[in-house]
């Protein structure tokens, strides 16, 4: 499932391929995706040039030369790549845009169709879209006073807080677990039971983990590929995610896996000590 580092890697790859390229053709399968892409929008794309490629949370923003924005979400299995037109079109490709003279195509493929593409008429329309969805701030722009306030006022556990896109944009299961490990805080720790020092540590850990992952071009598990078709390599750097039973890279104790916020959660019980909370008691009794 692409998270911020994977989406950022796609965005960086696309930037070099798409800038100043004109859309010479648009083809869509018409299959239902998570976002609407009506024929009228497809027509509006024709003849436009890409003027900027950006990211917000897990969203890819393709800015066009008339200020409209093609907004794309990769969902769980989405791939957005520039490929030679002569290369066979793979199954589950939902949108194909010819570039320039048509030698290359921008292709959006999504096997499970949790992703989608939609066209918004302007920058302000895009801002409104994000406002309506309540998208939280970028992890790299998190203000400590905001972060402290959000964490200290919730009775949810830290894992659930990190996954909430309204609190923080772009983090999913992998980087939530990795950041909590880096910060040495237990994923089941409640927001209200978290000190300002711990929340500051978590904020800094998030930034470090995400930056490292971007440097590695993200993690390739399942279908994720960068814009140029390259795989990421951060999956080789995971310290807790998917490592249950393996020794902790810090203390050699066994990494454990539990269910939290409906997601499997990986942590080191020795490095990430749970301070006493109601949630903690049920966990110690092995009811989670």
From the CB of 234, what's the least distance to Zn ion, in Å? 20
Residue 123 makes CB contacts below 8 A (sequence gap 6+) with 63, 67, 69
Count Cβ atoms within 10 A of the Cβ of residue 40 and give its class: 0-12 exposed, 13-18 middle, 19 or more buried: exposed
From the CB of 271, what's the least distance to Zn ion, in Å? 3
Residue from 44, 55, 58, 107 carrying the catalytic annotation:
58
Tell me, yes or no, if 270 is annotated catalytic.
Answer: no
Residues that bind Zn ion (CB under 5 A): 248, 250-251, 253, 268, 270-271
Tell me, yes or no, if 184 is annotated catalytic.
Answer: no
Residue from 2, 5, 139, 187 carrying the catalytic annotation:
2
Residue from 21, 233, 263, 270 carrying the catalytic annotation:
263
Tell me, yes or no, if 31 is annotated catalytic.
Answer: no
Helices and strands (DSSP H and E) totals, the chain = 8, 10
Cα(286)–Cα(288) distance, integer angstroms: 6
From the CB of 99, what's the least distance to Zn ion, in Å? 49
From the CB of 281, what's the least distance to Zn ion, in Å? 22
Q: What is the biggest distance separating any 2 CA atoms in the chain, rounded to whole angstroms?
A: 65
Cα(24)–Cα(247) distance, integer angstroms: 53
Task: Name the one residue in this structure whose structure tokens are 């309540």.
Answer: 134
Cα(253)–Cα(108) distance, integer angstroms: 43
Residue from 3, 8, 178, 182 carrying the catalytic annotation:
3
In this complex, which beta carbon is closest to Zn ion, that of residue 49 or of residue 250? Answer: 250
Going by the DSSP 8-state scheme, the letter that residue 34 receives in this structure is: S
In this complex, which beta carbon is closest to Zn ion, that of residue 135 or of residue 248? Answer: 248
Q: Point out the residue whose Cβ comes nearest to Zn ion.
A: 248
94, 115 Cβ separation under 8 angstroms? no
Task: Name the one residue in this structure whose structure tokens are 């890279």.
Answer: 249
In this complex, which beta carbon is closest to Zn ion, that of residue 186 or of residue 217? Answer: 186
DSSP strands (E only) in the chain: 23-28, 50-56, 59-64, 69-73, 78-84, 93-99, 104-110, 116-120, 256-260, 263-267
Tell me, yes or no, if 2 is annotated catalytic.
Answer: yes
From the CB of 207, what's the least distance to Zn ion, in Å? 21
178, 210 Cβ separation under 8 angstroms? no
In this complex, which beta carbon is closest to Zn ion, that of residue 137 or of residue 249? Answer: 249
In this complex, which beta carbon is closest to Zn ion, that of residue 212 or of residue 250? Answer: 250
So which residues are the catalytic ones?
2-3, 58, 263
């Amino acid at each position: 499932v692409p998270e911020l580092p994977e989406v950022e890697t796609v965005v960086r790859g696309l930037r070099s391929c798409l800038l100043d390229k004109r859309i010479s053709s648009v083809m869509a399968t018409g299959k239902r995706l998570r976002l609407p892409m009506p024929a009228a929008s497809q027509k509006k794309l024709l003849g436009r040039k890409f003027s900027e490629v950006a990211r917000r949370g897990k969203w890819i923003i393709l800015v066009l030369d008339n200020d409209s924005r093609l907004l794309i979400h990769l969902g769980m299995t989405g791939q957005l790549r520039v490929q030679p037109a002569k290369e066979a079109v793979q199954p589950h490709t939902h949108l194909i845009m010819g570039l320039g003279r048509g030698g290359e195509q921008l292709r959006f493929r999504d096997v499970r169709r949790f992703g989608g593409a939609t066209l918004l008429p302007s920058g302000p329309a895009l801002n409104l879209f994000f406002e309506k969805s309540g998208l939280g701030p970028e992890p790299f722009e998190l203000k400590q006073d905001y972060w402290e306030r959000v964490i200290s006022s919730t009775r949810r556990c830290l894992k659930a807080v990190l996954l909430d896109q309204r609190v923080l944009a772009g983090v999913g299961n992998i980087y939530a677990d990795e950041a909590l490990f880096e910060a040495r805080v237990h994923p089941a720790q409640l927001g209200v039971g978290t000190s300002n020092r711990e929340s500051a540590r978590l904020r800094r850990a998030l930034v470090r983990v995400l930056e490292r992952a971007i440097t590695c071009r993200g993690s390739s598990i399942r279908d994720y590929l960068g814009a140029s078709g390259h795989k990421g390599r951060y999956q080789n750097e995971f310290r807790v995610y998917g490592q249950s039973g393996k020794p902790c890279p810090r203390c050699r104790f066994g990494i454990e896996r539990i269910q939290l916020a409906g997601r499997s959660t990986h942590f080191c019980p020795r490095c990430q000590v749970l301070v006493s909370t109601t949630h903690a008691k049920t966990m110690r009794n092995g009811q989670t």
